[in-house]
Chains A and B, each alone.
Chain A
């Protein structure tokens, strides 16, 4: 039961074979048993989870089931929730309780979901390993000596170990897809503007997008359907976004006629040979399912990481200026004056990686450097977006590895920030272009999961879901780790 998919749990609830309370208890027991090993949750209130489950069972009896009735979903610590703390895994927000719910939290509540705790993450979502969290690193259930990816590492670890059947993440440069990849689960980043950002603590406003992390493609579609939609209180939420038949898109079993682009820039030297073999095998499987593999080029791929590490820190330096120790967040003891209060509170409250990004962004935006760094990066962003537009004139969807490597060891890349940044090399370009992307499991190297990334044109999540569903139906890579109760 714990490794059930969300849709199977829904079927059992709908058939009266179980209750939301029984389901919640199963997962609360697993969190109690295993969170000590994983540090996937940084906050959990079992009584509050059971209250929501009881209310859901009562709602079902009285009114019938809503789309996510009684289904437990864990929440990354970046989403504002009126219940419990919202800390973005930062000391600067260690006492913060949000005065309102994020729009997507309201939507999940309205769909009947049972919200479970807050999951671990890199501080302010800045990182690729969940090692920058103020609450200690999170661990990968496939090997607890290794990182679960990041920044949504807690959500990925929790779903992979079935501490919960699904979770929410956010993705600025790969923070849903890369942890999904290294933990062997499915993660969907919707098209920029599909999901409201209101109440999601901002990192880089033109890149951030929230999405589901689940065991299967259909489970991701169920949650994405409930999360999506225009929010008049978020100016980046697109009002007339083309609709998608989320669940219908998951009925695909073959790939006949599907043109899959294979960008040469994503199959380069330095990639783990095992990862490369797994991706090659996955593409061969797609061909066997009727797809045509088309060699394509995304010529500005090499510049994507550099453009990202100007744009994201620049936006972060502006967004994080709101932590001024006046309206919320940590304030230092006995400030001498206003400047001392700002500078000391921020030094004490922010961790090293957050400081690095704020400093990088402030430098890129500072007088004399703005044109050379910030404007230049925005021009390169235009070229990267155009690369994808050109590619999608030839193909329906693009397939790549999600990460060039499997999960690395804790501490292995913390000494050199730049090495850590380069682990996002295959996920970043898509955020710059605002496109939807999904990572799904496609094999193992030395017992560690490998992820296959799908990329589609803006608003065409249905194409991704169709291809990923067909691949999932034809293969058997959605596994459960033995040390957490999976089968040998």
Chain B
């Protein structure tokens, strides 16, 4: 079974894991990845990968403004705003 660095994956995912969580999720993740490894047995030589079920081009809309200013409504769910800006912990010292 593959040994996965659960701490590294958690950091890439931007999720802190407590020690207990890491101890539980690490083996489960290895188990899930172990299961999906059966894909390796499928012959896919020359098979195109698809990301979407239908063969259609991504549609484009006209390059015109269609939205109205709804800043207040759209910021209402934010944890913290001030003067129409999102407030986050200090990034630059």
A residues lining the B interface (CB < 8 Å): 95-99, 192-193, 206, 232, 235-236, 238-239, 300, 302-303, 306-307, 309-310, 317, 321, 324-331, 335-344, 346-347, 350, 352, 355-356, 358-360, 362-364, 366, 372-373, 375-383, 385, 417-418, 421, 432-435, 458
CB proximity to A under 8 Å, residues B1-25: 4, 6, 9-18, 21, 24-25
B16 with A363: CB separation less than 8 A = no
The 6 A-B pairs of least Cβ separation, nearest first, read A434-B53, A378-B49, A343-B16, A331-B79, A379-B44, A328-B77
User: Whole-angstrom distance from the CB of A379 to the nearest CB of chain B?
Assistant: 4
A380 with B44: CB separation less than 8 A = yes
What CA separation (Å) do A36 and B21 show in the bound complex?
A: 32
Identify 19 residue pairs between A and B in the complex whose beta-carbon atoms are under 8 Å apart, listed by A's number. Answer: A96-B77, A98-B77, A99-B76, A99-B77, A236-B52, A303-B39, A306-B35, A306-B37, A317-B13, A327-B75, A329-B77, A339-B14, A358-B15, A360-B29, A362-B9, A373-B39, A376-B39, A380-B44, A435-B53
Using known A-B contacts A99-B76, A343-B15, determine if residue A356 contacts B86 with beta carbons closer than 8 Å.
no
B contact residues around A435 at 8 Å (CB): 53
What CA separation (Å) do A335 and B15 show in the bound complex?
A: 14
A359 with B6: CB separation less than 8 A = yes
B88 with A376: CB separation less than 8 A = no
8 Å CB contact of B15 from A206, A346, A421: A346
B contact residues around A335 at 8 Å (CB): 89
A contact residues around B65 at 8 Å (CB): none
A385 with B50: CB separation less than 8 A = yes
A contact residues around B21 at 8 Å (CB): 347, 352, 355
Residue count of chain B within 8 Å CB distance of chain A = 54
B contact residues around A378 at 8 Å (CB): 49-51
B contact residues around A372 at 8 Å (CB): 40
User: Whole-angstrom distance from the CB of A214 to the nearest CB of chain B?
Assistant: 25
Per-residue contact bits, chain B 65-93, to A (CB 8 Å; 1 contact, 0 not): 00000100111111110000010111100
B contact residues around A206 at 8 Å (CB): 51-53
What CA separation (Å) do A331 and B75 show in the bound complex?
A: 15
A382 with B50: CB separation less than 8 A = yes
User: Whole-angstrom distance from the CB of B74 to the nearest CB of chain A?
Assistant: 5
B29 with A356: CB separation less than 8 A = yes
B89 with A300: CB separation less than 8 A = no
